[in-house]
Amino acid sequence: MHLVTNDDLTRLLGEQEPPFVSIYFPTQRTYPDRHQGPIEYRNLVDRAEDSLRRKYPDAKVRPLVDRLRAFADDSAFWDREQSSQAGLAILASPTTFETFGLRNPPPERVAVADSFLLTPLMRVAQSADRFHVLCLQREAVRLYEGNRDGLEPIEPAGVPLTVTAALGDQLTRQRHEELPGGTSAAEPLGVNVRPGHPSAGDDAKLDQERFFRAIDRAVWERVSRPTGWPLVLVALPEQQSVFREVSVNSHLLGTGVDRGPGRISDRQLLAEVWPHVEPKYLARLQQLAEDFNVARSRGQGSNDLTEVARAAQGGRVAFLLVEADRVAPGRLDPNTGEPRPGNAGDPEAGDMLADLAALVLRRKGSVVVVPRERMPEATGLAAIYRF
Protein backbone atom coordinates (compact mmCIF):
# COMPACT_ATOMS: atom_id res chain seq x y z
CA MET A 1 0.00 0.00 0.00
CA HIS A 2 1.20 3.55 -0.70
CA LEU A 3 0.05 7.13 -0.45
CA VAL A 4 -1.97 8.36 -3.40
CA THR A 5 -0.30 10.32 -6.21
CA ASN A 6 -1.59 12.25 -9.22
CA ASP A 7 -0.67 9.27 -11.39
CA ASP A 8 -2.94 7.09 -9.24
CA LEU A 9 -5.82 9.54 -9.69
CA THR A 10 -5.31 9.58 -13.45
CA ARG A 11 -5.40 5.78 -13.54
CA LEU A 12 -8.50 5.55 -11.33
CA LEU A 13 -10.29 8.13 -13.47
CA GLY A 14 -9.64 6.10 -16.63
CA GLU A 15 -12.18 4.02 -18.48
CA GLN A 16 -13.12 0.92 -16.47
CA GLU A 17 -16.04 -1.46 -16.18
CA PRO A 18 -18.55 -0.85 -13.35
CA PRO A 19 -19.54 -1.46 -10.61
CA PHE A 20 -17.15 0.60 -8.48
CA VAL A 21 -16.94 0.18 -4.72
CA SER A 22 -15.25 2.86 -2.59
CA ILE A 23 -14.74 2.25 1.14
CA TYR A 24 -13.18 4.79 3.52
CA PHE A 25 -12.85 4.47 7.27
CA PRO A 26 -10.65 5.62 10.17
CA THR A 27 -8.36 3.13 11.88
CA GLN A 28 -7.03 2.68 15.40
CA ARG A 29 -3.25 2.61 15.76
CA THR A 30 -2.94 1.21 19.27
CA TYR A 31 -3.43 -2.24 20.71
CA PRO A 32 -6.01 -3.72 21.25
CA ASP A 33 -8.31 -1.32 19.35
CA ARG A 34 -6.51 -1.82 16.05
CA HIS A 35 -7.71 -5.44 15.96
CA GLN A 36 -11.23 -4.09 15.41
CA GLY A 37 -10.19 -2.89 11.92
CA PRO A 38 -11.01 -6.10 10.00
CA ILE A 39 -14.34 -6.40 11.83
CA GLU A 40 -15.33 -2.82 10.95
CA TYR A 41 -14.18 -3.38 7.38
CA ARG A 42 -16.34 -6.54 7.04
CA ASN A 43 -19.38 -4.55 8.20
CA LEU A 44 -18.71 -1.95 5.51
CA VAL A 45 -18.37 -4.70 2.89
CA ASP A 46 -21.80 -5.98 4.01
CA ARG A 47 -23.24 -2.54 3.27
CA ALA A 48 -21.54 -2.47 -0.11
CA GLU A 49 -22.88 -5.93 -0.97
CA ASP A 50 -26.46 -4.95 -0.11
CA SER A 51 -26.18 -1.98 -2.44
CA LEU A 52 -24.52 -4.00 -5.21
CA ARG A 53 -27.23 -6.67 -5.17
CA ARG A 54 -29.97 -4.07 -5.62
CA LYS A 55 -28.41 -2.93 -8.89
CA TYR A 56 -26.24 -5.65 -10.43
CA PRO A 57 -26.62 -9.37 -11.24
CA ASP A 58 -24.97 -12.01 -9.09
CA ALA A 59 -22.40 -12.77 -11.80
CA LYS A 60 -20.97 -9.27 -11.34
CA VAL A 61 -21.48 -9.02 -7.59
CA ARG A 62 -20.06 -12.33 -6.35
CA PRO A 63 -16.44 -12.07 -7.64
CA LEU A 64 -16.15 -8.47 -6.43
CA VAL A 65 -17.55 -9.19 -2.97
CA ASP A 66 -15.40 -12.32 -2.62
CA ARG A 67 -12.30 -10.27 -3.30
CA LEU A 68 -13.35 -7.57 -0.83
CA ARG A 69 -14.04 -10.15 1.88
CA ALA A 70 -10.78 -12.02 1.30
CA PHE A 71 -8.90 -8.80 2.02
CA ALA A 72 -10.21 -8.83 5.60
CA ASP A 73 -8.24 -12.04 6.21
CA ASP A 74 -4.87 -10.49 5.36
CA SER A 75 -3.70 -10.24 8.98
CA ALA A 76 -0.18 -9.09 8.05
CA PHE A 77 -1.65 -6.11 6.18
CA TRP A 78 -3.92 -5.05 9.02
CA ASP A 79 -1.23 -5.35 11.67
CA ARG A 80 1.25 -3.39 9.56
CA GLU A 81 -0.89 -0.63 8.10
CA GLN A 82 -3.19 0.15 10.99
CA SER A 83 -0.22 0.90 13.20
CA SER A 84 1.10 3.50 10.73
CA GLN A 85 -2.02 5.04 9.16
CA ALA A 86 -4.96 7.03 10.52
CA GLY A 87 -7.32 5.80 7.83
CA LEU A 88 -7.68 3.45 4.89
CA ALA A 89 -9.22 3.66 1.45
CA ILE A 90 -10.16 0.49 -0.44
CA LEU A 91 -11.28 0.88 -4.06
CA ALA A 92 -12.51 -2.13 -6.02
CA SER A 93 -14.01 -2.84 -9.42
CA PRO A 94 -14.04 -5.93 -11.67
CA THR A 95 -10.56 -4.97 -12.94
CA THR A 96 -9.09 -2.92 -10.05
CA PHE A 97 -8.28 -3.42 -6.39
CA GLU A 98 -6.39 -0.54 -4.75
CA THR A 99 -5.59 0.32 -1.14
CA PHE A 100 -4.26 3.64 0.13
CA GLY A 101 -3.14 4.85 3.51
CA LEU A 102 -4.48 8.13 4.87
CA ARG A 103 -2.65 10.13 7.51
CA ASN A 104 -5.84 11.94 8.54
CA PRO A 105 -8.84 9.86 9.67
CA PRO A 106 -11.53 10.09 6.96
CA PRO A 107 -15.27 10.03 7.64
CA GLU A 108 -16.62 6.49 7.31
CA ARG A 109 -18.08 6.16 3.81
CA VAL A 110 -19.27 3.40 1.48
CA ALA A 111 -20.12 4.25 -2.11
CA VAL A 112 -21.32 1.97 -4.91
CA ALA A 113 -21.53 3.75 -8.25
CA ASP A 114 -20.39 3.83 -11.85
CA SER A 115 -17.13 5.57 -10.88
CA PHE A 116 -14.86 5.70 -7.83
CA LEU A 117 -15.41 8.20 -5.03
CA LEU A 118 -12.06 10.01 -5.06
CA THR A 119 -12.56 13.27 -3.15
CA PRO A 120 -10.80 12.05 0.03
CA LEU A 121 -7.81 10.95 -2.07
CA MET A 122 -7.78 14.23 -3.97
CA ARG A 123 -7.26 15.99 -0.66
CA VAL A 124 -3.92 14.17 -0.43
CA ALA A 125 -2.80 14.38 -4.06
CA GLN A 126 -4.29 17.75 -5.07
CA SER A 127 -3.92 19.80 -1.90
CA ALA A 128 -2.31 23.22 -2.00
CA ASP A 129 0.07 22.26 0.81
CA ARG A 130 2.29 19.83 -1.14
CA PHE A 131 6.05 20.28 -0.81
CA HIS A 132 9.40 18.51 -1.07
CA VAL A 133 12.15 18.10 1.51
CA LEU A 134 15.83 17.71 0.69
CA CYS A 135 17.84 16.21 3.58
CA LEU A 136 21.42 17.04 2.70
CA GLN A 137 24.63 15.62 4.12
CA ARG A 138 28.20 15.86 2.91
CA GLU A 139 28.09 12.58 0.98
CA ALA A 140 24.41 11.59 0.77
CA VAL A 141 20.89 12.97 0.45
CA ARG A 142 17.32 11.88 1.15
CA LEU A 143 14.23 13.24 -0.57
CA TYR A 144 10.64 13.39 0.65
CA GLU A 145 7.35 14.61 -0.69
CA GLY A 146 4.40 15.35 1.51
CA ASN A 147 1.92 17.77 2.96
CA ARG A 148 1.06 19.01 6.43
CA ASP A 149 -0.24 15.54 7.33
CA GLY A 150 2.84 13.48 6.54
CA LEU A 151 5.96 12.75 4.51
CA GLU A 152 6.77 9.98 2.06
CA PRO A 153 10.38 9.13 1.07
CA ILE A 154 10.97 9.21 -2.68
CA GLU A 155 13.82 8.17 -4.97
CA PRO A 156 13.15 9.96 -8.29
CA ALA A 157 14.82 8.55 -11.38
CA GLY A 158 17.84 10.58 -12.36
CA VAL A 159 18.52 12.00 -8.88
CA PRO A 160 21.77 10.59 -7.39
CA LEU A 161 21.55 9.96 -3.67
CA THR A 162 25.26 9.60 -2.86
CA VAL A 163 28.41 11.48 -3.76
CA THR A 164 29.74 8.39 -5.57
CA ALA A 165 26.60 8.09 -7.69
CA ALA A 166 26.72 11.82 -8.48
CA LEU A 167 30.41 12.22 -9.34
CA GLY A 168 31.58 8.75 -10.34
CA ASP A 169 35.16 8.82 -11.55
CA GLN A 170 35.26 12.59 -11.02
CA LEU A 171 35.33 12.02 -7.26
CA THR A 172 38.70 13.46 -6.29
CA ARG A 173 39.10 11.39 -3.13
CA GLN A 174 38.70 8.15 -5.09
CA ARG A 175 41.51 8.87 -7.55
CA HIS A 176 44.54 6.83 -6.75
CA GLU A 177 47.23 8.77 -8.47
CA GLU A 178 50.52 7.36 -7.21
CA LEU A 179 52.88 10.02 -5.89
CA PRO A 180 56.63 9.83 -5.05
CA GLY A 181 57.13 7.89 -1.85
CA GLY A 182 54.05 5.66 -2.44
CA THR A 183 51.44 8.13 -1.18
CA SER A 184 48.12 8.58 -2.95
CA ALA A 185 46.01 11.62 -3.78
CA ALA A 186 43.17 9.86 -1.98
CA GLU A 187 45.00 10.02 1.30
CA PRO A 188 45.92 12.89 3.68
CA LEU A 189 49.24 14.13 2.31
CA GLY A 190 50.89 15.65 5.38
CA VAL A 191 54.17 17.54 5.28
CA ASN A 192 55.69 15.48 2.48
CA VAL A 193 53.22 16.66 -0.16
CA ARG A 194 54.92 17.86 -3.30
CA PRO A 195 54.79 21.63 -3.93
CA GLY A 196 51.62 22.90 -5.56
CA HIS A 197 49.54 19.78 -4.86
CA PRO A 198 46.12 20.53 -3.31
CA SER A 199 45.56 19.27 0.22
CA ALA A 200 43.07 16.56 1.05
CA GLY A 201 40.88 19.24 2.64
CA ASP A 202 40.77 21.14 -0.63
CA ASP A 203 39.80 17.92 -2.42
CA ALA A 204 36.96 17.33 0.03
CA LYS A 205 35.63 20.86 -0.42
CA LEU A 206 35.80 20.50 -4.19
CA ASP A 207 33.96 17.18 -4.08
CA GLN A 208 31.28 18.62 -1.79
CA GLU A 209 30.65 21.59 -4.09
CA ARG A 210 30.50 19.35 -7.16
CA PHE A 211 28.14 16.99 -5.33
CA PHE A 212 25.85 19.81 -4.24
CA ARG A 213 25.75 21.23 -7.79
CA ALA A 214 24.85 17.81 -9.19
CA ILE A 215 22.10 17.32 -6.60
CA ASP A 216 20.72 20.81 -7.16
CA ARG A 217 20.58 20.32 -10.91
CA ALA A 218 18.95 16.87 -10.68
CA VAL A 219 16.37 17.95 -8.07
CA TRP A 220 15.46 21.00 -10.14
CA GLU A 221 15.05 19.04 -13.36
CA ARG A 222 13.40 15.90 -11.94
CA VAL A 223 11.48 17.12 -8.90
CA SER A 224 10.93 20.86 -8.45
CA ARG A 225 10.37 22.07 -12.00
CA PRO A 226 7.81 19.36 -12.93
CA THR A 227 5.69 19.97 -9.80
CA GLY A 228 6.29 23.60 -8.87
CA TRP A 229 6.19 22.64 -5.19
CA PRO A 230 8.28 24.40 -2.54
CA LEU A 231 11.54 22.72 -1.53
CA VAL A 232 12.77 22.81 2.08
CA LEU A 233 16.45 22.22 2.78
CA VAL A 234 17.47 20.33 5.93
CA ALA A 235 21.22 20.50 6.57
CA LEU A 236 23.89 21.77 8.93
CA PRO A 237 24.39 25.56 8.70
CA GLU A 238 27.72 25.29 6.86
CA GLN A 239 26.20 22.92 4.27
CA GLN A 240 23.12 25.14 3.97
CA SER A 241 25.45 27.99 3.04
CA VAL A 242 27.41 26.07 0.40
CA PHE A 243 24.30 24.56 -1.19
CA ARG A 244 22.47 27.87 -1.39
CA GLU A 245 25.50 29.50 -3.04
CA VAL A 246 25.46 26.98 -5.91
CA SER A 247 21.68 26.39 -6.17
CA VAL A 248 19.66 27.58 -9.17
CA ASN A 249 16.38 26.07 -7.89
CA SER A 250 13.80 28.86 -7.83
CA HIS A 251 11.48 26.74 -5.63
CA LEU A 252 14.04 26.41 -2.82
CA LEU A 253 12.62 28.25 0.19
CA GLY A 254 14.74 31.03 1.66
CA THR A 255 14.68 29.42 5.11
CA GLY A 256 15.38 25.83 6.03
CA VAL A 257 16.00 23.52 8.97
CA ASP A 258 19.53 24.17 10.26
CA ARG A 259 20.42 20.76 11.59
CA GLY A 260 21.94 17.51 10.42
CA PRO A 261 19.21 15.16 9.16
CA GLY A 262 21.01 11.95 10.11
CA ARG A 263 19.12 11.11 13.32
CA ILE A 264 15.62 12.47 12.92
CA SER A 265 12.31 10.60 12.62
CA ASP A 266 9.85 11.36 9.83
CA ARG A 267 7.39 12.74 12.36
CA GLN A 268 9.96 15.08 13.87
CA LEU A 269 11.15 16.07 10.42
CA LEU A 270 7.62 17.10 9.45
CA ALA A 271 7.23 19.11 12.65
CA GLU A 272 10.40 21.06 11.91
CA VAL A 273 9.77 21.52 8.17
CA TRP A 274 6.10 22.56 8.16
CA PRO A 275 6.61 26.01 9.78
CA HIS A 276 8.81 26.93 6.80
CA VAL A 277 6.14 25.81 4.30
CA GLU A 278 2.98 27.08 5.99
CA PRO A 279 3.38 30.79 5.11
CA LYS A 280 3.71 29.93 1.42
CA TYR A 281 0.74 27.56 1.65
CA LEU A 282 -1.48 30.19 3.29
CA ALA A 283 -0.36 32.78 0.74
CA ARG A 284 -1.33 30.44 -2.11
CA LEU A 285 -4.78 29.85 -0.64
CA GLN A 286 -5.24 33.59 -0.22
CA GLN A 287 -4.16 34.20 -3.81
CA LEU A 288 -6.57 31.54 -5.13
CA ALA A 289 -9.41 33.15 -3.17
CA GLU A 290 -8.54 36.58 -4.58
CA ASP A 291 -8.26 35.20 -8.10
CA PHE A 292 -11.69 33.62 -7.71
CA ASN A 293 -13.28 36.87 -6.52
CA VAL A 294 -11.79 38.76 -9.46
CA ALA A 295 -12.88 36.05 -11.93
CA ARG A 296 -16.45 36.00 -10.57
CA SER A 297 -16.70 39.80 -10.79
CA ARG A 298 -15.84 39.48 -14.49
CA GLY A 299 -18.29 36.66 -15.12
CA GLN A 300 -15.43 34.12 -15.36
CA GLY A 301 -16.09 32.20 -12.16
CA SER A 302 -18.90 30.77 -10.07
CA ASN A 303 -19.72 29.05 -6.79
CA ASP A 304 -22.94 27.48 -8.10
CA LEU A 305 -22.82 23.71 -8.60
CA THR A 306 -25.12 23.66 -11.63
CA GLU A 307 -23.27 26.47 -13.41
CA VAL A 308 -19.84 25.05 -12.64
CA ALA A 309 -20.85 21.53 -13.69
CA ARG A 310 -22.02 22.80 -17.09
CA ALA A 311 -18.80 24.76 -17.50
CA ALA A 312 -16.73 21.72 -16.53
CA GLN A 313 -18.58 19.56 -19.04
CA GLY A 314 -17.51 22.04 -21.71
CA GLY A 315 -13.89 22.04 -20.54
CA ARG A 316 -14.05 25.65 -19.31
CA VAL A 317 -12.89 25.17 -15.69
CA ALA A 318 -9.22 26.00 -15.17
CA PHE A 319 -9.20 25.84 -11.35
CA LEU A 320 -11.70 24.22 -8.99
CA LEU A 321 -11.49 24.79 -5.24
CA VAL A 322 -13.34 22.11 -3.27
CA GLU A 323 -13.93 22.06 0.47
CA ALA A 324 -12.20 19.14 2.17
CA ASP A 325 -14.59 16.42 3.46
CA ARG A 326 -17.65 18.24 2.07
CA VAL A 327 -20.24 15.90 0.51
CA ALA A 328 -23.08 16.84 -1.86
CA PRO A 329 -25.12 13.59 -2.17
CA GLY A 330 -26.09 12.76 -5.74
CA ARG A 331 -24.51 12.35 -9.15
CA LEU A 332 -23.73 14.52 -12.16
CA ASP A 333 -25.30 13.38 -15.41
CA PRO A 334 -22.38 11.86 -17.36
CA ASN A 335 -23.62 13.35 -20.65
CA THR A 336 -24.82 16.82 -19.67
CA GLY A 337 -23.19 17.50 -16.32
CA GLU A 338 -26.58 18.30 -14.79
CA PRO A 339 -26.74 17.68 -11.01
CA ARG A 340 -29.00 14.88 -9.79
CA PRO A 341 -29.31 15.25 -5.99
CA GLY A 342 -29.49 12.08 -3.90
CA ASN A 343 -30.14 11.02 -0.32
CA ALA A 344 -27.37 11.25 2.27
CA GLY A 345 -26.45 7.83 3.68
CA ASP A 346 -27.44 5.90 0.56
CA PRO A 347 -24.31 4.10 -0.76
CA GLU A 348 -25.62 4.53 -4.28
CA ALA A 349 -26.23 8.27 -3.90
CA GLY A 350 -22.67 9.24 -4.81
CA ASP A 351 -21.14 12.67 -4.33
CA MET A 352 -21.69 15.47 -6.83
CA LEU A 353 -18.58 17.35 -5.65
CA ALA A 354 -16.49 14.23 -6.26
CA ASP A 355 -18.02 13.87 -9.72
CA LEU A 356 -17.31 17.53 -10.44
CA ALA A 357 -13.68 17.27 -9.34
CA ALA A 358 -13.19 14.14 -11.45
CA LEU A 359 -14.75 15.87 -14.46
CA VAL A 360 -12.45 18.88 -14.10
CA LEU A 361 -9.40 16.62 -13.90
CA ARG A 362 -10.49 14.68 -16.99
CA ARG A 363 -10.78 17.98 -18.86
CA LYS A 364 -7.19 18.88 -17.82
CA GLY A 365 -8.21 21.43 -15.19
CA SER A 366 -6.68 21.72 -11.71
CA VAL A 367 -8.42 20.77 -8.48
CA VAL A 368 -7.34 22.17 -5.13
CA VAL A 369 -8.86 20.68 -1.99
CA VAL A 370 -9.12 23.40 0.67
CA PRO A 371 -9.75 23.12 4.44
CA ARG A 372 -13.19 24.40 5.43
CA GLU A 373 -11.78 27.35 7.36
CA ARG A 374 -9.91 28.53 4.23
CA MET A 375 -12.69 27.93 1.70
CA PRO A 376 -13.79 31.25 0.17
CA GLU A 377 -17.40 30.14 -0.45
CA ALA A 378 -20.06 28.57 1.77
CA THR A 379 -21.25 26.35 -1.10
CA GLY A 380 -18.09 24.23 -0.79
CA LEU A 381 -16.83 25.00 -4.28
CA ALA A 382 -15.35 27.87 -6.27
CA ALA A 383 -14.41 27.69 -9.93
CA ILE A 384 -12.23 29.90 -12.10
CA TYR A 385 -12.96 29.57 -15.82
CA ARG A 386 -10.52 29.46 -18.71
CA PHE A 387 -12.84 31.58 -20.87
The one-digit pLDDT tens for each residue of the chain (387 residues) are: 566 777 888 889 888 889 999 999 998 755 555 567 788 999 999 999 999 999 899 999 999 999 999 999 888 888 776 666 788 999 999 999 999 988 888 888 898 988 898 888 887 777 678 899 999 999 999 999 988 888 889 999 999 999 999 998 777 755 444 344 444 444 443 333 444 444 456 777 888 999 999 999 999 999 999 989 999 999 999 999 999 999 999 999 999 999 999 889 999 999 999 999 999 999 999 999 999 999 999 999 999 999 999 999 999 999 999 998 888 999 898 888 899 998 877 766 778 998 999 899 989 999 998 989 999 999 999 999 998
In this structure, are strands 131-136 and 301-302 parallel, antiparallel, or unpaired? unpaired
Provide the pLDDT for residue 325: 80
Structural domain boundaries in the chain: 6-125, 131-172+198-281, 299-385
Provide the pLDDT for residue 35: 64
Fold of the domain built from segment(s) 299-385: 60s Ribosomal Protein L30; Chain: A; (3.30.1330)
Domain spanning 6-125: CATH superfamily: eRF1 domain 1 (3.30.960.10)
- Give me the long-range contacts of 154-163 (CB less than 8 A, separation at least 24): 154/223, 156/222, 156/223, 157/222, 158/218, 158/221, 158/222, 159/215, 159/218, 159/219, 159/222, 159/223, 160/214, 160/215, 160/218, 163/138, 163/139, 163/207, 163/208, 163/211
Going from the C-alpha of 130 to that of each of 92, 127, 267, 281, the distances in angstroms are 27, 6, 16, 8
DSSP symbol at 14: S
pTM of the model: 0.72
> Reduced to 3 DSSP states, what percent helix, strand and coil does the chain have, rounded to the nearest 5?
45, 20, 35
Provide the pLDDT for residue 268: 96
DSSP symbol at 339: E
CATH number belonging to domain 131-172+198-281: 3.30.420.60
